[in-house]
């Protein structure tokens, strides 16, 4: 019975994944337009952020859309297809759960932030006030 349930959800993901990606592509939000110097400074600030995600995860898509709306350049790592990124997520964050934002401070200490709403709130609190448009 367990294998049948797994097969059902695997099939469902295979069918819905491309639809989610197509919908995201068709409705991609516009980013904030900033002066080049301001955008460069923001890019330096976000250089210490990494988003661990699965490409077709709805919550990951939600976070990526927020990143796009804020015009942030944050490295994304696929924890489903890349075993090294998956292991980094497990070792650093303690669980394989996405989306997960890795935040490295000036001293090199990493904080792992789970939950899409918490990640979006953190990004908006920290980087939305620098918007000029």
Mean pLDDT of 62-91: 96
At 58, list the tokens.
Answer: 């709805």
Q: What is the pTM of this model?
A: 0.85
C-alpha span between 112 and 104 (Å, rounded): 9
Q: What is the pLDDT of residue 113?
A: 97
The percentage of the chain sitting over the pLDDT mark of 70, rounded to a whole number, equals: 96
State which fold the 2-130 domain adopts.
Glutaredoxin (3.40.30)
Phi and psi at 103, nearest 5°, equal -115, 120
In DSSP notation, 33-56 reads: P--HHHHHHHHHHGGGEEEEE-TT
Give tens-digit pLDDT for 80-94: 999 999 999 999 999
Q: What is the pLDDT of residue 129?
A: 61
C-alpha span between 1 and 4 (Å, rounded): 5
C-alpha span between 16 and 124 (Å, rounded): 29
Q: Where are the domains of the chain?
A: 2-130
């Amino acid at each position: 019975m367990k294998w049948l349930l797994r097969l059902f959800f695997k099939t469902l993901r295979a069918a819905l994944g491309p639809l989610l990606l197509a919908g995201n592509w068709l409705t991609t939000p516009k980013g904030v337009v900033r002066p080049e110097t301001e955008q460069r400074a923001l890019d330096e600030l976000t250089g210490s952020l990494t988003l661990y995600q699965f490409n077709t995860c709805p919550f990951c898509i939600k976070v990526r859309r927020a990143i796009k709306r804020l015009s942030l350049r944050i490295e994304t790592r696929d924890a489903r297809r890349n075993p090294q990124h998956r292991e980094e997520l497990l070792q650093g964050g303690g669980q394989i759960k996405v989306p997960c934002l890795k935040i490295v401070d000036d001293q090199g200490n990493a904080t792992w932030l789970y939950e899409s709403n918490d990640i979006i709130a953190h990004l908006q609190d920290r980087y939305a006030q620098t918007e000029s448009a």
